[in-house]
Structure 1
Amino acid sequence: MNPADEPLGPLPGLSDAELPFPGRARLREHLIREAHSAPAPARSRRRAALLLAAGAAACAVTLAVTLGAAGPGRPPAAAPPDPAAVRLLDRVALTAQEAPAPAVRDGQFVYTRTTGHSTALSEVPGGAMEASRTDESGEHWLSVDGSADPVERTAGGTRTLHSDGGNRAATLNSPTYRFLESLPTDPGRLLELIYADTRLNHGPGSGSTTGPDQEAFVAIGDLLRRMEAPPGVSAALYRAAARIPGVVLVPEATDAAGRTGVAVARVHGGERTEWIFDRSSLRLLGERTVLLEDGAWGKAGTAVTSVAVVGRGVSDRAGETPALVRPW
């Protein structure tokens, strides 16, 4: 039997019955068959060709990305993206692209409710380091057009994060909804824009220990979690993430709200940063960082940071909980 005609097995972490795309069986088979039949990357110390299944409405394409060799001040080249993670991200992108855009107006605020924790290290008497948790649960208001400062409400109270009257220019690290609308919806162009920032601040000679690839993955995760982005941009962000070396699939993960799902992740420095998706809707539930080694931060398997999105909405005023908060 020709390998291309062999039955296609299920993707790890998702069964066919869990697909939220009725009537798209042919697209599924095309995507997976493309990944199965693509030639393996050439093994070379100097470069690796990454064959990525980037899905579109009716086809899959492959993209070759050239990676430079590791050198002084540059982390070792990561492995090509896991094909199973690429396929999952493509499904997530299709779902995001079909979602209705939030109904927002200038002067309003995009509202997000989260639950979770982060971990910090502090020195205790005797010189030892001790890990302690900080509650990251709260409500967050981000200006649609940047005309007002972000506001958050936690157990410690309500506070304004900036004090410049919303005069700061929006950036990838401090976006507004209008800024997200301005981003390219072509995954390649969007990823290059993100890499331009991460190479500048985390590339060779920067002194960074994480490197551009890890920072690009983190930056995309932050953009997706902080606020609900326009559908086309959300889809492009997921497809851009599918092109980052080292991205892998985690068949099962639990978010800070106790919801289980399937995750896309990237490993760096003994930690695995995970984006957790609902198996049925493929909606992004949250993000967590899990230790893979015992250390000062805790035992292997510990989620040192875990933040879940539990509500979204639009508010007319910062600090005001919307009348309609969509459960997430």
Structure 2
Amino acid sequence: MSEPTAPRVPAMPAVRRQALRHHLMNEIDRPARRPRRMLILAPAAGVLAVVVAAGAIAQPWAPDSSPLIVTVEQGDHSGAMLLLNRMAAAADRSGPSSGEGKYIYIRSRGAFAELGDGPARLQPVYEREIWIPRYERGDGLLRQPFFDIPIIGVIPERETLTNVTPNAELVNLPSDPDALLAKLYRERDERGRGTSRDGGAFDAIGDILRESLVPPQTSAALYRAAAKIPGVEVVRGVTDAVGRRGIAVAHTDRSRRNEWIFDEQTYEYLGERSYLVAATADGPAGTVLGTTAVLQRAVVSKLGQRPER
């Protein structure tokens, strides 16, 4: 299955994106003391997975960088399969409406936790724009706030991304949910590190949903595959990074719950949220580790072109 009108291209290991995005959260050894660092959202093709020094940006919620805590609601395991299959059926009824253009444009906002000695502290929400080649591997573009990374160096506000995996390659996935899930498990097993096998598959699907333009039929296959992952649950009354309320499809791994947030009526993807469900060295249960909101997806003709808002 591929994006409408897209040429057939080899499938990309989806877990490669997942590994980079979740590397800091899932594979950090915890010494007795370590410098504080902030998680940064990696671009679509896994170009960046970095940490930034504490204090680079002022806190939006509290002047003392207090952690943001949410209530850990009880998840509904029995409702997850019902919801995901209902979402898949709705996607099956949708027609292609992506339009013509050479690049996928995605505008989002997000905030990620600063980790180190003591509780995790959520950094400010910042806006991010990314342009991804639609059909052929090539240059992309990333715009987000200026960061100065101690080890990596300066990440400018505008950065050209080279050799980016095209959107068509990312969404070229098996239409059969069992085959799709087997592919994700196989890629997780090949990597052999990080999250659990089920958590790795869940996160890989989330990466595809978050920062790509997914055809309706591909979305349907992803939802049906997610319904088969053990431990998937529904959490109601959640909010994304800009305060929009929705319903979440969630999975818990290593005391951390990751959620995909959807509009409860239209099933439109809104964003993600990640937080602790049990007390750890990073904070008490409910400590938010990341929150995002996708504000706009579009197809544009030129790199750097913005669609109408």
Normalised by the size of structure 2, how large is the TM-score?
A: 0.67
Mapped to 2, the partners of 1:130 and 1:320 lie a distance apart of 36
- The answer to whether the 8 A contact 2:84-2:227 is kept is yes
Matching residue within 152, 156, 174 for 1:184: 174
Any gaps of 5 or more consecutive residues in structure 1? 1-80, 171-175, 203-207
User: What's the offset of the Cα at 1:100?
Assistant: 2.8
1:259-287 CA distances to partner (integer Å, 9 max, x unpaired)? 11111101111111111111110111111
User: What's the offset of the Cα at 1:122?
Assistant: 3.6
**Greater alpha carbon shift after TM alignment, 295-304 vs 142-151:** 295-304
Residue type at the aligned position of 2:211: R
Mapped to 2, the partners of 1:103 and 1:237 lie a distance apart of 18
User: What's the offset of the Cα at 1:248?
Assistant: 1.0
1:143 is aligned to 133
Mapped to 2, the partners of 1:103 and 1:269 lie a distance apart of 37
Mapped to 2, the partners of 1:223 and 1:266 lie a distance apart of 16
User: What's the offset of the Cα at 1:235?
Assistant: 0.6
1:49 is aligned to none
Give identity over the alignment, percent. 36
**Quick check: which has more Rg, 1 or 2?**
1
- The answer to whether the 8 A contact 2:111-2:126 is kept is yes
Mapping for residues 171-320 of structure 1, pairs under 5 Å: 176-202=166-192, 208-320=193-305
Matching residue within 110, 123, 142 for 1:116: 110
Matching residue within 85, 88, 94 for 2:89: 94
- The answer to whether the 8 A contact 2:100-2:300 is kept is no
Residue type at the aligned position of 1:161: L
- The answer to whether the 8 A contact 1:151-1:160 is kept is yes
Mapped to 2, the partners of 1:215 and 1:225 lie a distance apart of 15
Any gaps of 5 or more consecutive residues in structure 2? 1-75, 147-156
SS of the residue 1:149 aligns to: strand
Mapped to 2, the partners of 1:159 and 1:209 lie a distance apart of 28
Q: 1:129 to 1:293 in 2, by over 3 A?
A: closer
User: What's the offset of the Cα at 1:135?
Assistant: 4.3
Is structure 2 residue 79 aligned with structure 1 residue 84?
Answer: yes
Mapped to 1, the partners of 2:232 and 2:119 lie a distance apart of 31
User: What's the offset of the Cα at 1:132?
Assistant: 5.4
Mapped to 1, the partners of 2:122 and 2:171 lie a distance apart of 38
- The answer to whether the 8 A contact 2:85-2:223 is kept is yes
Detail structure 1 runs of 4+ shifted over 6 Å in the superposition: none
- The answer to whether the 8 A contact 1:199-1:211 is kept is no
User: What's the offset of the Cα at 1:136?
Assistant: 4.8
- The answer to whether the 8 A contact 2:122-2:289 is kept is no
User: What's the offset of the Cα at 1:131?
Assistant: 4.1
1:208-243 CA distances to partner (integer Å, 9 max, x unpaired)? 252211010000001011112111111101110110
Mapped to 1, the partners of 2:210 and 2:259 lie a distance apart of 12
Mapped to 2, the partners of 1:136 and 1:212 lie a distance apart of 31
Higher relative contact order (CA 8 A, sep 6+): 2
Normalised by the size of structure 1, how large is the TM-score?
A: 0.63
Mapped to 2, the partners of 1:147 and 1:268 lie a distance apart of 33
Q: 1:111 to 1:119 in 2, by over 3 A?
A: same
Is structure 2 residue 155 aligned with structure 1 residue 155?
Answer: no
